[in-house]
Amino acid sequence: MRFSEEQLRLYAVTDRTWTGKQTLCEQVEAALRGGATMVQLREKELDDAAFLEEAVRLKALCTRYRVPLIINDRVEIALKIGADGVHVGQDDMSAGDVRTMIGPDMILGVTAKTVIQARAARSAGADYLGSGAVFGSATKQNALPMTMERLREICQSVDIPVTAIGGINRSNLSQLAGTGVRGVAVVSGIFAARDIEEECRLLRTLVETIVR
């Protein structure tokens, strides 16, 4: 799938913590119905076999909705299932090595928390950056908030789109206006919602107002 920055508008990042009565696949489908434009499978606690099973299900689902599925970190699984891309953090495999493995056509996302990291990721072949945690994080307890000034500097330092991540929800999303981000990556703000589809519909409307 050819990458475009519009796919970053509402980037749903999975977390099985909130599955409850629904399966992860059911929750992701609700997010897609509500307007999620990209999905990342990020389940650090799953072993490779369980992760692969989930990845196969989500790949079929995302293909049906014509939305890219990005695999967090596990490059071999991404290649095995024909995922649309891979996202890696600063502590994962280097972006350059990942680009070599996945070739020129798959989407490569890289976490960047500083201008130096942003420029290095761009040079290594990243298609987009994920920057944060802009408002802290419910899923990473040691994630320190990023200032809007730092986020703006990162956006201005590279010619690839940046998506903000970290504690984003309906009440704070508008604070990202003017930073230069081209979308938001949301975890608990989507998957902890009582009505995921409706929450995504609201978040999608809000994010469209800040990227104009």
92-136 pLDDT, tens digit each = 999 999 999 999 999 999 999 999 999 999 999 999 999 999 997
Q: What is the pLDDT of residue 143?
A: 62
Please say whether the beta carbons of 179 and 143 come within 8 A.
no
Q: Is the pLDDT of residue 137 over 90?
A: no
Average pLDDT of span 48-56: 97
Q: Please state, as a whole number, how many other Cβ atoms lie within 10 Å of the Cβ of residue 89.
A: 16
Q: What is the pLDDT of residue 85?
A: 98
Share the mean pLDDT of the chain. 95
Can you give the CATH number for the domain in which 106 is found? 3.20.20.70
Average pLDDT of span 84-88: 98
Please say whether the beta carbons of 96 and 122 come within 8 A.
no
CA atoms of 8 and 57, how far apart (whole Å) = 21
Q: What is the pLDDT of residue 2?
A: 86
Q: What is the pLDDT of residue 53?
A: 97
Q: What is the pLDDT of residue 17?
A: 85
Please say whether the beta carbons of 141 and 102 come within 8 A.
no
**What residues contact 167, with CB distance under 8 A and at least 6 apart?**
132, 133, 134, 135, 136, 137, 138, 145, 188, 189
Q: Is the pLDDT of residue 141 over 60?
A: no
Q: What is the pLDDT of residue 140?
A: 60
Alpha-carbon torsion (200, 204, 205, 209), positive or negative: positive
Q: For 8-33, how does the pLDDT look when each residue is reduced to its tens digit (9 = 90+)?
A: 999 999 998 878 789 999 999 999 99
Q: For 146-159, how does the pLDDT look when each residue is reduced to its tens digit (9 = 90+)?
A: 999 999 999 999 99
Split into its structural domains, the chain has a count of 1
Q: What is the pLDDT of residue 12?
A: 98
Residue 133, preceding bond cis, omega within 30 degrees? Answer: yes
Instruction: Provide the pLDDT confidence category of residue 174 given band limits of 50, 70 and 90.
Output: very high
Which neighbouring-strand residues pair with 186? Answer: 12
* Residue-number span of the structural domain to which 85 is assigned: 5-210
Q: Is the pLDDT of residue 52 over 70?
A: yes
CA atoms of 106 and 1, how far apart (whole Å) = 8
Q: What is the pLDDT of residue 4?
A: 96
